[in-house]
Structure 1
Amino acid sequence: MKLQHLIKSMFAATALMSAAASVHAVEIEVLHYWTSGGEAKSIAELKKMMEAKGVTWKDFAVAGGGGENATTALKARVIAGSPPTAAQIKGPSIQEWGKENVLANIDAAAAEGKWDASLPKVVSDVMKYKGHYVAAPVNVHRVNWLWINPEVLTKAGAKVPTTMDEFFVAADLIKKAGLVAVAHGGQPWQDATVFESVALGVGGSDFYKKALVNLDQTALTSPTMLKTFDTLAHIKTYIDKDAAGRDWNLATAMVINGKAGMQFMGDWAKGEFTAAGKVAGKDFLCVPAPGTAKSFTFNIDSMAMFTVKDPAVQKAQLTLATTIMSPEFQEVFNLNKGSIPARAGVSRAKFDSCAIKSMDDMDATNKIGGLVPSMAHGMAINAAQQGAISDVIAKFMNSTMSSKDAVAELAKAAKTK
């Protein structure tokens, strides 16, 4: 009899413990598109940090470097009335989701962490909707980089280009050496990435702002824009025939492996070099895209919080936001990702020469008005306009369309509502 009581007591205790565990295990579902080597490593660190704080992480990873697939998945979930706890969205898209009244207020985390004091205003403004924080910034990427394999340059007898003319001289020499001059993936967002760096190099930051941020029709139809497309047409001739549909990280791998000499890509590419054990300044070079040394196109990754009913999950959202903004996570994430911390107060000690140059250039360009949002990466204009403009660029890259026709179509696309 005593034994039966003991067994019953043990079962009851186990049941209570299981119930307690299920009450305390808060799960958050996070939608993101950090799926390549350096990115996946970064998100794994955040998952680890959250689980150390008693929050279970349910991964909702959607492949596709530009985030289009993730956006489609997010829309489907929100329409179905079951949004994820948090999602990787950025720029004007944060404002668009804010207007739908589906984003959660995380001012409590921002106030406790003194975000206003530790973030540049250009960053904090993007993270707010109607003056309230709804997203936490993870990093700042510089988009207008040119990545170079120095061994390929040496083999070809070429030098590091600083102007477009020098770039074409180097590209010719690499091509003559039997290698691919420009590593590229023929996807609309990659085409737009090259385009905006070319526009910045050809016209400078004032022209860039007028044309690709303000969508000024005079700038969009100007001789400078015509020259931008002419320059892009010239760059096309150095891209290999297998570029169609190639993912960006596979194009980066071509530079890493010495099959290609140069790549126009944001500094997330550095995460791939680092993951491959390569050293900045020795195995690979990072230089501003030709003609863009005094400008900095920024792309800020952020995690927006969606409205949830469960108070425990709401609390977990604040924990997630606080963890994202911690100097510890900002350091480890950006070391893996190739970007730089969004917040002040993170030690530079472990960052390489490319990251330190990026930090210095961001400060310098901010002072002279050369710090501009990336059109290609959803930081400058709304999604409909960006999509229409990207379609024109992709069409130009994949056809025999003339520069004159491209300029006319670009100006028309900019009027998209």
Structure 2
Amino acid sequence: MAIPAVSAADIVVYHNWASPAELAALNVLRGALEAEGNHWLPLAIPHDADGDMNVIELIDAGVPPNVFLQLQPDIYRSLEQRGQLLHLDEQFAASGVLQQLPAVVRNAITVDGAIVKAPATIHADAMIFYNRAVAKAAGVDPESWTSLDEMWADLDKVQAAGFDPIAMGAQPWQVGYLTHALVASLAAPGVYAGLYGETVDAAVLDDPSLIKVFEWLRRFQQRADDKAINRDWNMATSAVISGKALLQLQGDWMKGEWHAAGKAEARDFGCIFVPGAAHVPVTVDSWGLLGGVSPEVEAAERAFAAAVVDVTVQAHFAAAKGSTPVRVDAHGGIDACSRKVLQALDRPDFALPTPHLTATLGWVASVWDVANDFWNDPAMTPTTAIAALKAKAER
């Protein structure tokens, strides 16, 4: 494995992953780093925890991590202004890894023309994973659905067969992800990009297709059971794996949970994009690295970045995480679900970057606030929700 030789150093690793599959993937990376003599010191705050913080807040609190799992470009711009950001342009160019990264990955790790992230995953934010045995028992074929309406029409059959149609978690971040999945799937051309760009295009807030997005968000809310509000995403996945529910609409990180349970795609589960989706949002989970540290620690940070994109590490990491490898030369052993993700990347204008790669932290939080208010207040109308978005955009 081509990782620079370095003196041993302690590396504080900040992340928000907590599920068994996520932790298994991190252990792949940890093993590669510690094989070089460095020491991985975890700083973990799960993404559904009330104490979730971004790296700027951690630095200001006196707890600076060396590497951090963060996507938002405004974080990297702030670190650049502070002189606290490690650049990877020369390192990645010299190693030849850039030639192995798809355009969507190169774009995701580049902020204002500089490569400042080490890419870990390719994920589709909006996929449906379903239990094949439940589908068969209920007499439905998810692969045949061409629209959300067709999917919804089959859910009563699933209920009548004794299964929950949809397994959902209604934590704030999960409602937020469902919202941008619906915007990508249902909104008119240009609305997703206008809503989740670096600056908000106020015109898209008047597009009538946003009404449809909130109407569908309400339909999902009405399908949720009374325990959904506190349910972790992987617990919802478990309900599908165990055969209690037919499907879950989430990111394709669900696949890691299926693999951890010993399940196989061809035999146990299937995966589809949202039926009839106009677009699919894509996440490239990436690690930033803190600059301005000692030469020994910087060398260890660069060893971390090299390990993240190493072809062997990528293959094992993706298998554990349920992701698609970021390197094209690591795609030889991928499964059918990852092949669908790669095909989505090849479709013109179909795959769009997750809002976390384009919008500001504050605006993503604002959209989440409105979506969660809407979810938790059945009397709130789509028109009222859009008015709330407009008010936040004008601030």
- Describe the shift of the 1:62–1:54 C-alpha distance in structure 2 as closer, same or farther (beyond 3 A): same
Displacement of 1:238: 1.4
Farther off after superposition, 275-284 or 263-272: 275-284
**How far apart, CA to CA, are the structure 2 residues paired with 1:164 and 1:129?**
35
Q: In structure 1, what is the Cα distance between the partners aligned to 2:363 and 2:175?
A: 16
Answering whether residue 305 of structure 2 is matched by residue 281 of structure 1, we say no
When residues 26 and 357 of structure 1 are mapped into structure 2, their CA distance, relative to the original with a 3 A threshold, is same
Q: Which residue of 2 aligns with 1:372?
A: 352
Most deviating of 213-222 and 267-276 = 213-222
Counterpart in the other structure of 1:324: 308
Alpha carbons 2:21, 2:256 under 8 Å: kept:
yes
The residue identity in structure 1 corresponding to 2:351 is: L
What does residue range 232-243 of structure 1 map to in structure 2 within 5 Å? 232-243=217-228
- Aligned residue type for 1:56: H
Three-state SS of the structure 1 residue aligned to 2:40 is strand
Q: Are residues 211 and 82 of structure 1, via their aligned partners in 2, closer, same or farther at CA, if it must alter by over 3 Å? A: closer
The alpha carbon displacement at 1:174 in A equals: 1.8
Q: Does the aligned pair in 1 maintain the 2:8–2:300 contact within 8 Å?
A: no
Conservation of the 8 A alpha-carbon contact between 2:83 and 2:292: no
Q: Which of 119, 128, 143 is 1:137 aligned to?
A: 119
1:88-122 Cα offsets, whole Å, 9 max, x none, are: 11132333433443212233421222343222344
Name the aligned partner's letter for residue 287 of structure 2: M
Instruction: Give the residue type in structure 1 aligned to 2:344.
Output: D
1:39 alignment counterpart: 22
- Is 1:210 aligned to 2:210, yes or no? no
1:153–1:159 contact (8 Å) kept in structure 2: yes
Gaps of 5+ in 1: 1-22
- How many angstroms apart in 2 are the aligned matches of 1:100 and 1:113? 28
Tell me, yes or no, if structure 1 residue 383 matches structure 2 residue 361.
yes
**Is 1:103–2:88 an aligned residue pair?**
no
SS of 1:237 mapped into structure 2: helix
Cα distance in 2 for partners of 1:190, 1:218 equals: 26
Using structure 2 for the length normalisation, give the TM-score.
0.91
Please list, as runs of the form range in 1=range in 2, the aligned pairs for 1:69-148 lying within 5 A after superposition. Answer: 69-72=51-54, 74-92=55-73, 93-148=75-130
- Aligned counterparts of 2:103 and 2:83: Cα–Cα separation in 1: 24
101-110 vs 392-401, which moves further = 101-110
Q: Which residue of the partner structure matches residue 410 of structure 1?
A: 389
Q: State the match for 1:398 in structure 2.
A: 376
Between Structure 1 and Structure 2, how many residues are aligned?
Answer: 385
Q: 1:140: Cα distance to partner? A: 1.1
Distance 1:373 1:205, change over 3 A: farther
Which position in structure 2 is the counterpart of 1:220?
205
Conserved 8 A contact 1:175-1:238: no
Residue 329 of structure 2 is aligned to residue 337 of structure 1: no
More displaced stretch, 247-256 vs 196-205: 196-205
TM-score (norm 1): 0.86
Instruction: Report if aligned partners of 2:72, 2:361 keep a CA contact under 8 Å in 1.
Output: no
Q: Write out per-residue CA displacement over residues 335-359 of structure 1, whole angstroms, 9 at most, x where no aligned residue.
A: 111111222221422x211112212
Task: Choose which of 263, 271, 276 in structure 2 pairs with 1:291.
Answer: 276
CA deviation vs aligned residue, 1:147-171 (integer Å, no higher than 9, x gap): 1112222222222133111111122
Q: CA deviation at 1:82?
A: 4.2
**Corresponding letter in the other structure for 1:414:** A
**Post-superposition CA distance 1:198-248 (Å, at most 9, x none):** 222222553322333363223222221111111221222211111012111
Aligned to 1:191: 175
Partner Cα distance (1:357, 1:348) in 2: 14
Aligned residues of 2:126 and 2:281 also touching (Cα < 8 A): yes
Return the offset for 1:70.
Answer: 4.1
**CA–CA separation in structure 2 for the residues paired with 1:413 and 1:77:** 26
Deviates more, 1:268-277 or 1:334-343: 334-343
Structure 1 CA distance, aligned partners of 2:284 and 2:116? Answer: 14
d(CA) in 2 for partners of 1:80 and 1:232? 37
2:144 matched to 1:164? Answer: no
Assess, with a 3 A threshold, how the Cα gap between structure 1 residues 347 and 181 changes in structure 2: closer, same or farther: closer
Provide the alpha-carbon RMSD of the alignment. Answer: 2.1
Q: Rg: which structure is higher?
A: 1
Separation in structure 1 between the aligned mates of residue 195 and residue 222 of structure 2, nearest angstrom: 25
Displacement of 1:173: 1.8
The answer (yes or no) to whether the contact 1:144–1:264 under 8 Å persists in 2 is yes
Corresponding residue of 2:3: none
Judge which range, 86-95 or 225-234, deviates more. 86-95
Higher relative contact order (CA 8 A, sep 6+): 2
Once the two structures are overlaid, the 10-residue window that deviates more, 265-274 or 75-84, is: 75-84
